[in-house]
Amino acid sequence: MEKDQFDPPITVKLDAKGALLTLRTARDTSDFLLNRWPGKRTEKHRAALQACSDVQTAGKPAMAARRAFVAAAREAGVFTDQKATAAG
């Protein structure tokens, strides 16, 4: 397992039609936060982005980034407990 990999992966809703995306690593999650984030860029969003960066640059635990991202995704209404049918 890569050091930035999430266990378990995180599934988010991409749109109102219910399309899902699975995020498996801090790198994928950073990309989502920077380029595909649907909500406001709140303090939780910034904390998640920083936590993902810390995993990649400072070797911090991926679980901390996962927790921060889930908090931001819940706040934005995109977190889901469902599993995506296709990996993103």
Domain count across the chain: 1
Domain assignment present for 11? yes
Question: What value, to the nearest 5°, has the Cα angle with vertex 28 and ends 21 and 15?
Answer: 30
Domain assignment present for 59? yes
**Mean pLDDT, range 4-31, rounded to an integer:** 93
Domain assignment present for 88? no
**What sign for the dihedral angle of Cα 36, 41, 47, 49?**
positive
- The pTM of this model reads 0.88
pLDDT higher than 90, residue 18: no
Residue 85 CA: distances (Å) to CA of 32, 35, 81: 18, 22, 13
Domain assignment present for 46? yes
Residue 22 banded pLDDT, cuts 50, 70, 90: very high
The phi, psi pair for 43, rounded to 5°, reads -60, -40
31 within 8 A of 37, measured Cβ to Cβ: no
Domain assignment present for 85? no
Domain assignment present for 10? yes
Query: What is the domain range of residue 61?
Result: 5-80
Tens digits of residue pLDDT in 26-85: 999 999 999 999 989 999 999 999 999 999 999 999 999 999 999 999 999 999 876 654
